[in-house]
Every structure is written in C-alpha cells, then in structure tokens.
Structure 1
C-alpha cells in the first residue's frame, strides 16, 4: 500500500475557492430542495464503488496523482456504474420529465421549452427531468464512450430503460416506459457537437445538456477545481475497483463550517481514469454521494452502441417543437423571474464555505408575512425548516445533508454547502 503523501494545491489545479459545478449553479434557484437536487445531479455521474483489497503500488505524491488525472487521455470505455445518493431529500424517482418544471432552469437546460412529460408539447424523454432522478436513491447506469463525438448513458430499472445517446452532433433520448423519443442537435460548445462546431444553431436553441459526459475524469476534475489554499489533498492508500488497481486521492476542506467532510477519488493506476467518487458529509454517517464502476472495459465500443432509430409507434419530439410549444410559458416565467429574483446573486466568503446570496425582490418564497400563503400551508413550510434569528433579522433554514438554504423574512436567500450556523453568519455579515 502506498503511504500517505500530502500536497498544497494552488490555482494550477483549478479556481481557488470554487466548489463543484453544483454550487455555482445554485445561484439560479430559490427552493432548497431544488438546489440540493441540481447539486446532486451535477456531481452524481462521477463513478464510484466500494473498494475490495489494497494492491501494492509504487509510491506517488498527491501532486503527481492530480497530474496523472489531468493527463489521462481515456476516450474509449464501456461499463456499468452504480450510483447511490443520500442527501436526505425525498426520492425523485418516477417524477420523470415533471422534475424539470420544478427544479430545472427556464425551459430546460438551454431554454428548450416545457419539460413536464407532455404538458405544452413536452416529452417524457427530455433529458433534464430524467437526469434529475439521479439526485436521490440508487441507480444503475450502463455507459459507453468513443471519443468526444460518441457517448451513451442508459439508466436501468426493473421494468424500463432510459437512454441518452450522442453521436456526431445528433442527440437522441428514449424512454422505453412511455415509448417516447426526444431529438436535438448537440450544442455547438459541447464536446463533439459536429464539424467545425456548427451543429445545433450555435447551441442557443437546443434543450439538451451541454458537455454530455464522455469520460469519468470530467467530473473528478470538477471536484479538483475546489483545491486551493482552503483545501488539503493527500494520497490515502490504494484500492481495488472494478477489477482495477487504483490510488485513492483524498480531498478535505480546511475551513470550518462546510457540510463537505471529505471527497475520495479512486484513480486507475495505469490510465489515470477516475473509477470511484465518494463524498462524505461533515455531519457523519454514510456517504451522501457514492458512485462508481462495477465493470469497466477500456476497449473501443462497437459502433452500433451509438446507433439509434425510434421504435415503431414511438412518439418523437424535436427540440425546436418542444421549445415552440413552451414559448409562451417561458416568456411568462422569464417575466416572473425578473420580478422575483431581483439583483444578481452575490457570493459571500470563499472556498468551501462560500455562500450565494439572492434577493427575491422583497417577496419571501412562502408568500411572506403579507398572508398570500394560507396559514396551514405556511405552518407546513415552517415545520420543514428551523427558525433562526440574527443581526439580519429572522428566517427559516432548510437543510439537507449537503446543501442548505436560509430564507429570511425580508426576501433574501442564502445558499451553500455550509452548516446552519455558517448561513446565519453569512447573513449577518451581508446585513
């Protein structure tokens, strides 16, 4: 087993003080459960699996292991991934496309209209809502990649399968349960979007996720972007993952107040490909996110893996049609957003304890003290959170195991992967 070796990581490995993409996206959302769900969905594709055995590998430093991940040129692989997410929120399984309407940005990932699985022309196969299901519970994925132009991710369950396929600029999604398919061009700034990057109308009108994951290291690198003066990074021994020898990279915040206890990434000793990603909350207990390969093969997948034609009788929704159907609703929602969110979000603090502040324009998410929300509904909302007071005034903290949010009575919202006390402190400092 390789001995522990620590390293101070500077901005060379990423932006000092950043958290993974989920926190940056949290600025768009007000409802705490939505924030937690998006954070989980963003991180949730990182492969992880419990280790079995500790192989004896040559000594390596933390900096060398990070460089090994960055230098990894793995573009061809296939395998099975198991995802377990426990953020302490209700399961999103079965919500399908309807999750997008509640949790996703306006009009899907890129303004593509209704994503509610049928309402206003939406499709149950639209990716945004379906990928939200990964924010909670246990899931099994079958994945394959052949360079930047070809990737496939299938979510398997006992009775159905949902597949998202990217093949040379064309994106197909298919939901076998509803027999619905969704078709779009890959965004121009996504990997492998097509020749000269001109497919997808410059990526402005397509309701498909950008940067469809091609390899696991894409996600591990997001965690490494948090590495800076506020972070400790060490090599924490070795492991045997999906039949492969791996080093274990341990990432821990140095700051008090973060809900992230540690992140462990198992890295293939030969290819530098991340095989495992486990996030433990600072509050203890089992992993909040534990995701990884149960099987992996680095050989070139068959070309037919990325072929797709809608089955006979399937309802096919084109991205442009979906956007046109939801155009009116999106325009209304944009106007409401402009009224409700007020000024641009402000970031308080740095590193792992950074908190995003939003202004809802004087209207609390629950309707506020003006009495717009029925008393019983207000009582129910209050029961979900903890009442707090400080220099900022008073408000309610809604907590998950990872992402928490403070909603003040005067319409401010503070969101971060920080503790309740850290949220109150941030609100006091902003006052």
Structure 2
C-alpha cells in the first residue's frame, strides 16, 4: 500500500467528522469534500470544498502547479510541485490515499498492524488494514481502519474509531472511484481575465519565519507524549 503507484483515476471524496472539533480549512458539515483527478503520471487536479471560500482548486501539469481560489479570483503559481511547507494541510487531507499513507508512516511503530477481512468501498472490493494502539499507549482511540483497494492497492477510506463508539469519529473516503484515462484538459489551467496572480516562490520569500517562531513561543505551544499519546498544548491569548 505504501509503495503503490497512483493510477489514472477520478473520484469524489466524502468527509464525516464526529470528533466534536473542527478541522481547520475543511467544511464544518459532513458531505462531499473534494473531487480528485490524476493521469497516473504525476499530473493531478484537486477541487476542494471549504467553508472560507467555497472551493479551492489545485492543478498541476507536472511542470507548473496552480492554486486557484474562485471566491476572490486569485491564483498562486508554482514552478514544479507546491513545496510541502507552503501547501495547505487540508489539500493533503482531502486525498484519502495521501492521508492514510502519512498516518501509517507516523503511527506504525506505536501500533499493532493487522488485516481484518474484506469489505466494499465505492462499490469496489477492499481489504481492511487496522492499526491498533499497543498496550503501552494511553488513548481514547480504539483503532484506525484503512480500506485498501484490492486491484490498485490504493487506500480508499480512512476511519478513526474511539472507545465506546460503534460509528467512526472521523471518516474520510471515496464515495466513487473510477480508474481510467482522464481528459488532459483537466490538468491545465489558464487564469481567467482579471485574476490576481501571485508568484509562489516570491510569496514564500515573504514569509517571516522569525515572527512565526515568536508567535509560537508566545502561545507556549509544545507537544507532550509520543505516538497515540501525543497532545499539542498551548496558552489561549487573553480575550479569546
């Protein structure tokens, strides 16, 4: 699963969030989260629904990546892929395959990993990879369940289950998944007339990392614990 190649495909991603906490950058209500398209050769298109702007689209033809915000008619252009430190976390989360792979890489050392039967996701047969906290871990979570497509070995759904609850606290997965060749036009983008275009490299240079570090220090943000026990703590500013 970790090494599987992403095939040419199109799919609709659904989000169900019963954690009781909002996920920054993502819709606060359940439902369709994104449409995902790839050509299997490095080109992709991600149309993400957000509470803030309605929809943000990331388009890459392999040489150039655009981030298009339809609400304010603005676009950011990067040569090559979007640098990880400047790409929005919700863009990665919107893809179940990427989210599942990143979680497995981080959590497998602190988990018991098993295969637990088969099921169907997006009307496709899957096998279920289960990460269970090791006995030394203290957590309210019972397990993380990843449904892996039998044919492509691509993660199709990620579920987080808590102790004492039958339904997932968080579910991110494909409602439909259609492997096959995609229209090449999906992976090209020309800014509409009147679009404010920003150079991604120049925008990155404008980030004041020292001020960012000072803000983190002022909030007292730190991580406590390891693995499933990891907690992020900090101070709420006065007046919030």
TM over 0.5: yes
Number of the residue aligned with 1:365: 235
Which ranges of 4 or more aligned residues in structure 1 deviate by more than 6 Å? none
Residues in 1 aligned to 2:114 and 2:210: alpha-carbon distance in whole angstroms: 50
Q: TM-score normalised to the size of structure 2?
A: 0.78
Aligned mates of 1:185, 1:208 — CA distance in 2: 13
Where in structure 2 are the equivalents of 1:90-105 lying within 5 Å? 90=22
The 3-state SS of whatever aligns with 2:194 is: coil
Residue number among 74, 84, 99 corresponding to 1:180 in the alignment: 74
Contact 2:33 2:48 in 1 (8 A): yes
C-alpha displacement at 1:336, in angstroms? 2.4
* 1:337-352 matched pairs, under 5 angstroms: 337=215, 340=218, 348=225, 350-352=226-228
Paired position in structure 1 for 2:123: 243
1:284 corresponds, among 149, 165, 168, to 165
- 2:101 partner SS: helix
Contact 2:7 2:152 in 1 (8 A): no
Q: Alignment partner for residue 312 of structure 1, among 193, 208, 217?
A: 193
Mind listing any 5+ residue stretches in structure 2 that lack a counterpart? none
Unaligned runs of at least 5 residues, structure 1:
1-68, 93-131, 187-192, 194-199, 359-363, 368-372, 382-431
Aligned with 1:258: secondary structure? coil
Q: Specify the alignment match of 2:6 in structure 1.
A: 74
- Number of residues of Structure 1 aligned to a counterpart in Structure 2: 234
Gap change, CA 1:258 and 1:175, over 3 Å in 2: same
The match for 1:333 is: 211
Q: SS of 1:133's equivalent?
A: coil
Partners of 2:2 and 2:216 in 1: how far apart?
40
2:134 alignment counterpart: 254
Q: Which residue of 2 aligns with 1:144?
A: 37
Q: 1:74 to 1:208 in 2, by over 3 A?
A: closer
Relative to its length, the structure with more strand (as a share) is 2
Query: Following the alignment from structure 1 to structure 2, what is the Cα–Cα distance between the partners of residues 298 and 157?
Result: 26
Q: CA deviation at 1:236?
A: 2.2
2:87 corresponding residue in structure 1: 208
Q: Following TM superposition, by how much is the alpha carbon of 1:219 offset from its aligned partner in structure 2, in angstroms?
A: 2.8
Alpha-carbon distance between aligned partners in 1 of 2:209 and 2:143, rounded to the nearest angstrom: 42
CA distance in 1, matches of 2:74, 2:145: 38
Superposition CA RMSD, Å: 3.6
